[in-house]
Every structure is written in C-alpha cells, then in structure tokens.
Structure 1
C-alpha cells in the first residue's frame, strides 16, 4: 500500500460500476471489468484491488458529514458549508446505468465520502460579519479561483510538521491552489497545520485578493486556538483595505481590542490598528487604542510611537504628540529622524523654540540629518522670538547639511531681522538676494523689505521696490501699496502718497480702510484739507476715518471744522472713540472760557 498511494497522487474512485481511474507518476490504469466492480466493489490499480467494506463506508460517510456537513460559526464570521462531491471521470454507455448513478447520488450524501478518491471541495464565498458590514465583493480573480475546484488528496504522510512546512513553502512561493489543497487535505484527514503555515497561507491569500478564503482559514485558526498577533494583524489590515476603517474597527472591538481580558494580541495588532486610524486621521480612536495597549501591559515599539506622533501632529494635538514622544524616551527607545522632525515642528508651532533647538542639536549629535522643512521651521521660530544670531547659525548648519535655501528660508531670515529692529540689515540682505537669486524673489519677500522701508521712512526706496514689483510681473496687492503710502506718510510726503494712491486706483487695486487712513493722516499733516474732504465724500462712511480726521483737526487747531464733523458723525450714528471724545471735551471747555 505504501508503494501504491503517494502524497503526489490524485486518486479517483467510484463504486457500483463507476469507471475507475488512478494516476501514479503520470501513468493511468483503468478497470474495464464491470464484473470485477460488481463482485468486489473495488477499483484495480496495476493488478492490486482495494476492497471496500460497506460498513466501514457508512462509518466514514458519517465522519465526512461531521467534518464538512455543518456550518462553522464563531462570534465574528459565519462561514457557509463546504460541499464535497464526486466528479466522475468516465460516463457509462448505458442510459439506464447513468440513471442508476444519478439515483445513487441522490441516495447518498456526497458530503460524506471517505478520504480517498477524487474529492472536489466547492467553496461558497458568501459570509457574514456580525458587525453588520456588507459582504466583500467578489473580484474577478477571486471568482476564477472559487469557481475552480479545490481537490482534497489522500495523505500518506501523517506528520503535521512536514505537511505544515509544505503549506508554508507553497504559500511563500505564491502557489495558492497547491497550498489550499494541502491545507484542505490536512483538515479532511483530521490533521492540524501549525500557526506558521496558517499565517503564511493567510498572507498568500490576501496577497492574491482572496479575502473570503483567508477569512475561512482565520475562522479555522480561531476555532482551533492557533492564532497569533500576526494573524489578527493580517486580517484587520485586509478588512480595512477592502471594507474601510469602520469595519476594521468593529472587528477589532469584537476581538476584544479595548478589553483587558486575555487574548492572542501583541503589539503588532495595536500598531496595525493605529496605522488604520492614521489613514483617516482619527486621532480619537488612535488614542483609545494607545491607552488600551498600556492597560494591557504592552510596551510600544518605535513604530508605535512614530505613528502616534505623526497622527497627533497632523491633527494639531500637540500635547498628546509630546506625551507620546516623552513615553518613547522613558521606555528607552531611540526616536528616528521622522519623529524628531515632527516634534521639532510642533514645538515651533507652540513657540517652544528652546526645546526645538535642543532637539535639533540632538539630531545633529546622533548623526541624523534634519530636512529642510525642519530647518526652516526652526529659523522662523527663532526669528519670531528675536533670536537673530541663533537663526543665522541654524541657517549656516542647514547649508552645511547640503540643503539649498528657498524663499521660505529667506523670508524667515528677513522677518527675524525685522523683528529685531535691524531694518537696514534686512534691506541689505534683500538687495543681496535680488542680485544673486532674482528668480526666488516673491511678493512676501518684497513686502518684508517694504516693511523695513516704512519703519525707516525710506519712501524713495519703497517707490523703487514698487516699480520693480510691477516690472517683474508680480501681482501687486493692496497691502503692498499700503506699505509704500505709509512710508511716504512717515517721511511727510503727502503729495507723493496721493500720487501712489491715484496710481493704485488706476491699476484697479481696491483701497481698504488702512489705505484711506494713511492718506488722511498724511494730508492732515500736510494741511491738504481739500483732499481730506474729497476722500470723506467719495469713500463709504467709516467711523475710524471720522475719528482720524477729527483728531487731526483738533491737533492742528481746526476746532470749528472738527466740531462740524463731530456733529455730522453723531447724526449718522457713528460712535466716537475715547480719544475723540476727550479732545472734543477739552476744546469745548476752551471755547466756553
């Protein structure tokens, strides 16, 4: 018998005058003797007869029905019946004999056939999730594999480790059909694959988009308690890819993900779910999974904290991101450059430039290379804090790391000089940029230079920059014109400011309240009262404009005009500010005296 049946052979048996065929190493032998089949109820293989006992047949039939004739269920997935049937290789010549065969099929449950023979397992791909999610749509590739027949072989080899190793190797080689056939044959023979073989088969099925078959294997693993954290991770990730975040989260909860009961989870399962939460930026569930992992006594890995920090930073949960980073350091884990850069970014947002600078130095000491975004964020944070020297040191370090400064870098450095009241240095830096890297100049850099011109009252320089902006094709906005007008106001050049204002209107750039205030203040100090009245008549009524004109008139000794304008302001129900009321009361008292 050992020479007769091999693992590599596919045996096809029939009974009651069924045609018999055996394949041994590619050679077929057929029994044509109907009398032989009637007499012995057997099939001949190279002159050897395998006799079948009717009683033993019934017992094995019953065993088969117990193996495959029920519906497997657990608290998550309901897998449909797996129907085993005989596929006849040869057809009887007599029609009456064919009817007898059909009658035999009806009388006998072919789910209950013995483990030898050409048994075909037809798998139904319908399954149901208790969470109420919709069944997985069957892809074309899945339908092709499901429609094809998975054969169950007679296994002469009974060693579970050897058979498990074969399933493992076939799965790693992406031999889906062969791996499934050995797996089903082991189940059929009452053998159990080990967890490594099942996990490899799961990975192979999911790699080939066969989620239904993978879920059936997973149900078998849970029923026989041979699951591991890797098993749960594979299934959860596949469900998230196919059915979405909600289905994966529901499955995780049904597995007891948030409970403290003992389960087959490990850190890999929690990392998988945190990654799934990160895809949809659901920081609330990510935090819950993190806290559940802590309650169950698991210590996170670098992957865990890297994902948590990135999710929290993206969702503007800076405090929780810092908590995750601090816990990582307390657990003795060395953060990577992605975590360090993310923490530096959130520190700069929170204005914690000193902590950001320390982390930046730690990256350099640890032979990590901060990226350009990290360097720019730190320069900008130092500039806002007025730490000009430190900002330029980081700039020098950025160049030594091989990063090319961009417009964000130059704007951060110009703003740093402006915040430190080093306006002349800011203009010199801008001129050097204009001479060396003219292509990188944009509207933000010009506006920063105009702000320095405004502070210094350099109206001629401001006009020069304005003409350069228009000549370079940049779209000059209202704030840029306002800065030039303000520079003229500081330099007491109201007529020049009026010319810029007229040019602004001619360029179809709409003035705003700040434009009119700068023009009015300049005209008041230049005693251009007619222009002031014209502006008040032509622009929409605004309380801030009336306050500015009244205050200017009072300070310039034009009390009667200020009184008339104040009464007009009260008639149109504008509320004067505190300075306007104080000046009017003071001048009323002088007038009565």
Structure 2
C-alpha cells in the first residue's frame, strides 16, 4: 500500500511538473522537483524529462544541462526523451556545439537517438548558421536506422534557408515525396524564404502556386516570405497583388506581411502606396513597429517628401514606437535631399536625448546635407565629431566633405582631405577625385591631380575604340575639362602627325545616366565652352547629341601642346 502511495505521489509530481512546463512556468517546475525529496518522493526519468522540457520551453538551456548532469547522482538513467529535450534546449539557446556534444554522448551512453533527437540537433545547427553540419546529420540518419520525418526535413530546409542555400533547400523539398514525407506550410514557407534570401522571386512565386495542388494552405509566414521575395526582386506590383489576394485565401496579413509590402513600395519608389499601406494597418488594427516606420520614412526620403518623413517621425511616440538609428538615418537623408541642412542637424543633435547613437550613415547624411547647403565649416565640424565619437569614417564621408570644401571655394582643404584618405586606409574613389578636381580645375595643381587619377585607372571608359575618341562618362565638369585639355595637348598632336587627319570626338552624353556631381553645370556645356574659348572648330553631332566633334584639320600641334602646361 505504501509503495502504491509513493508511486501515486511520483505520478502526481510528474503530471504537475509537466503541466508547469507546458504553461511556461519553468520556475514552478523546478520548485516542485526540489520539493520531492522532502516529501520522500523519488524522481524518476519521467520527472527529469518533464523538468528538462520545462527548462527547454522557458529558454533555460543552462538549467536543462544542469538537470541532465544531476541524473547520474540521483541514479536516474537518461533516455532518448531526456537527451532530445536537452538538445532542443540548446537549440533554442543557440548552442549548436553543445547540441552536437550531447548527440555524441548518447552513443557513449548507449542511448539510441530517434527522429526527434536528430530534428532538434539539425535545427540547432541551422540556427547556428551551420547548414553543412545540418545536412551531414540528415545524411547520417539512414545509417542510424532513423527515418527523417516532416519536422526533420523542415529543420534541414530551414538550415539551408538561413545559410543562403536556396538550391539545396529546393532539392530537399523535391526529395520529400520519394521519402514518403508530406510537406506542410512550414516546409513551403522555409523553401520560399530560402528563395527570397537567394533573390529568386520567380521561384518563390512558383512554390506558392504549387501549394494548392499539394493540398497545403499558405499562412501568414508563407505570404510574408513570398512578398519579401518580391520586395528584394524589385517587384512591388507583385508584392501588392499577393497582399490583396490574402483575404480571398482567408489569411490575415500581420505586421511582418505589411512591413514586407511597405518595403517593396519603398524600394520601388512608391511613397504614396507605402503611406497608404501604413494607414491600412491602422484600419486592420495591425500595430506598426520601428521596421514599418523605417520603411515608410525611407519611402518618403526616396520620393523627396522630407515634410512627410518628419511627420512620420514625430508620430512615432503616439504609436509607442521607439525610433532607432535607421529611422533617424532615413529622416536625416530626407532632409538632405530636400535641401534642409538645418533640420538635418537638428535631428542629429536630438539623437542623444532619444538614446540613439549616430553611426557613419547618420553622419554621412548630415555632412552631405551641409555640403548641399554650402556649409563647409559645419561639414568639417561633423567630420571632427566623428573622430571624437569613434565613428568609422569611409569614402562616402570624405567625398561629401571634399565636395563641401569645393563648393565653398576651399580648394586647399579639399586637397588636404583627399591626401588624408590613404593615411586613414580609406581608398579614394572616382567620386573623391571628381570632387577634388572640380575644386582645382583651373589651377596648376589640377593638372597633377588629373594625371594621378588617370594613372590609377579611375576612368576605365575614357578610351573608346581609338585614341581619336574619348568618353567623359563618370567625370565631373572639372575632371572633364582637365581630361579634354590633357587629350588635346598630349595625344591629339601625335594623331595629327599621321598621314591622315582622324575624326576627333568627345563623348559627353546627355546627362541622363550621369550621377549628379553636386553641380548644375552640364559636362557637355563645360567642354563646349572650353573648345569655343580656344576657337577650336567644334560642333554638337546632330545624329548623336551626346557627342562633340572637332575638326582636326584646323588644329595646330604647337597650340595644342600649351593647353596642358600648368600655369606658372
């Protein structure tokens, strides 16, 4: 009778501990376990399994492993359920190495792993970014006479998804029918997400279209992944089409779904639609978060709507959404594009109050705002503040600062900044040289600067077909003027000494594909004015208005050679 009572008490404790685990009350589960010796109730493997499982569900992997280590002392032998729960606890805690260690200990303890054990270990590897190990475990299962199930395949496909291996994810999906394993919505969602990460939006949509035939109903996660795939592929129309089709499928869009759709509109330059979706979220009682607002503000920034961007930023506290550095970066960039340098600096100065730390993107946008506003002193002040704040400066930072100095007529400072870049292990790029050359295009130092930039291969498109044709794409007006001077002075005289006079052409383009080199002066106008100033016979080609032709027959080599002689 006494033995029966003890057994009943153990059963009662096991049931109670298990209930606590399922209810997320891991503390109570451990409390009950600790009370058992005082009640003269001996815990068994079921007790420990329930307690370890409670810790696993509560995200307490250290406590789960501690319980496992206590079992030999309590003379309780762990079984496959014990190890599976402990491995799952490690998986949830991001401890893939410990999960694999436990799996190896099972063979030493002569405990046979089952599909639950392998699934947990594979999932642990996936979450740890170890997709190769995840697939290795999957391949070992047949030798261990363990048959992979739906959960196993889902974990393996998810591991491939996280590792950016969309082809392998699809291969696993294709193997499931042969293994007589039926895919579910989790399987398809993981595979679609793998395609999304791999930039395969067409394949993502194909998988979505295959689901009804497989009698699998897509859920919020599936649609969110598909919409995100369209977003990354620049297919905002398809993203919105998917969103609008969800009610017909009786799937309610959630926060993640709307965020993906708004981000698709942002990337597609559709700021009006992005704001429309934000308003629809409120109607659908879906709470926006910082990701939502970041995408919407960025959409306004790209659309040149700085007022709306600031309005969204100011409305965030009402929604109890805390802005982060991405939010401020987008808002400051919106002010920069709108020529509102004062507002950009005001936002930057308000960040410490909001406990948001500016990063290099923040400072770059603010410096660029000062550059566009002709505030070279403030641009340099921000550059020095970055150093004090230990924020990494990059080529974008220095390019904006150099351009600010150029606009302010501070050519010495512009050149000084350019010379500092290699010392700071920042490689100047074509933008750096273009900005600096614009500042010194009419000075002696400009000639040496052009030679250096040209020698470094900054203008790979310069030679077109032959030496008689030059291409000024990727050049600022200052760089273009120096390039034409150099070509006329040092190359064309050799061409004129030949038996025939070649056709001389300067390809300027019409400015449609040219980046804005922080100036309103067109490169073609600058070059044409240069040629007209020297009274060289030149004209705009009527068949191709992006080309200036020069009549070489009326050019004199002696006059040309003086064009690229630095002023004394």
Please report the TM-score for the alignment, with normalisation by the length of structure 1.
0.49
Q: Are the counterparts in 2 of residues 459 and 484 from structure 1 also a CA contact under 8 Å?
A: yes
CA distance in 1, matches of 2:262, 2:381: 38
* Larger deviation, residues 422-431 vs 404-413: 422-431
Q: Are the counterparts in 2 of residues 305 and 324 from structure 1 also a CA contact under 8 Å?
A: no
- The answer to whether 1:286 aligns with 2:137 is yes
Query: What is the DSSP-based 3-state SS (H/G/I as helix, E as strand, rest coil) of the residue aligned with 1:369?
Result: coil
Deviations along 1:432-480, one digit per CA (max 9) or x if unpaired, are: 334x256612211111111111112212212211211134443222332
- The answer to whether 1:484 aligns with 2:331 is yes
The residue aligned with 1:81 is none
Per-residue deviation, 1:249: 3.3
Q: Are the counterparts in 2 of residues 376 and 408 from structure 1 also a CA contact under 8 Å?
A: yes
* Larger deviation, residues 570-579 vs 375-384: 570-579
The residue aligned with 2:412 is 563
CA distance in 2, matches of 1:247, 1:535: 57
CA distance in 1, matches of 2:120, 2:301: 52
- The answer to whether 1:308 aligns with 2:153 is yes
CA distance in 1, matches of 2:192, 2:394: 45
Distance 1:275 1:419, change over 3 A: closer
Distance 1:383 1:531, change over 3 A: closer
1:245 to 103, 108, 120: 103
- The answer to whether 1:475 aligns with 2:327 is no
The residue aligned with 1:394 is 242
CA distance in 2, matches of 1:503, 1:364: 51
Distance 1:332 1:537, change over 3 A: closer
- The answer to whether 1:448 aligns with 2:283 is no
Per-residue deviation, 1:321: 4.5
The residue aligned with 2:468 is none
**Equivalences for 1:81-480 in 2 at 5 Å?**
140=42, 245-250=103-108, 271=115, 274=118, 277-278=121-122, 283=134, 286-290=137-141, 292=143, 304=149, 306-314=151-159, 316=162, 318=165, 320-330=168-178, 334-434=182-282, 436-437=283-284, 440-480=287-327
The residue aligned with 1:551 is 403
Deviations along 1:196-233, one digit per CA (max 9) or x if unpaired, are: xxxxxxxxxxxxx9xxxxx9xxxxxxxxxxxxxxxxxx
Deviations along 1:160-186, one digit per CA (max 9) or x if unpaired, are: xxxxxxxxxxxxxxxxxxxxxxxxxxx
CA distance in 1, matches of 2:134, 2:352: 49
Q: Are the counterparts in 2 of residues 273 and 289 from structure 1 also a CA contact under 8 Å?
A: no
Deviations along 1:249-280, one digit per CA (max 9) or x if unpaired, are: 35779x9xxxxxxxxxxxxx975774575586
The residue aligned with 1:494 is 341
The residue aligned with 2:378 is 531
How many residues matched?
345
Please report the TM-score for the alignment, with normalisation by the length of structure 2.
0.51
Distance 1:524 1:291, change over 3 A: same
Unaligned 5+ runs, structure 1: 1-138, 144-208, 210-214, 216-233, 256-268
Distance 1:581 1:358, change over 3 A: closer
Per-residue deviation, 1:330: 4.0
Query: What is the DSSP-based 3-state SS (H/G/I as helix, E as strand, rest coil) of the residue aligned with 2:358?
Result: coil
* Larger deviation, residues 378-387 vs 573-582: 573-582
Q: Are the counterparts in 2 of residues 492 and 525 from structure 1 also a CA contact under 8 Å?
A: yes
CA distance in 2, matches of 1:240, 1:495: 59
Distance 1:355 1:292, change over 3 A: farther
Mark the structure with the bigger radius of gyration.
Answer: 1
Deviations along 1:340-392, one digit per CA (max 9) or x if unpaired, are: 44433433333333333233223223432222212211121122212334323
The residue aligned with 2:33 is none
CA distance in 1, matches of 2:79, 2:328: 61
Q: Are the counterparts in 2 of residues 547 and 576 from structure 1 also a CA contact under 8 Å?
A: no
Q: Are the counterparts in 2 of residues 453 and 487 from structure 1 also a CA contact under 8 Å?
A: yes
Q: Are the counterparts in 1 of residues 227 and 257 from structure 2 also a CA contact under 8 Å?
A: yes
**Equivalences for 1:8-87 in 2 at 5 Å?**
none
Unaligned 5+ runs, structure 2: 1-40, 46-70, 72-76, 88-101, 126-132, 445-566
Per-residue deviation, 1:415: 1.2
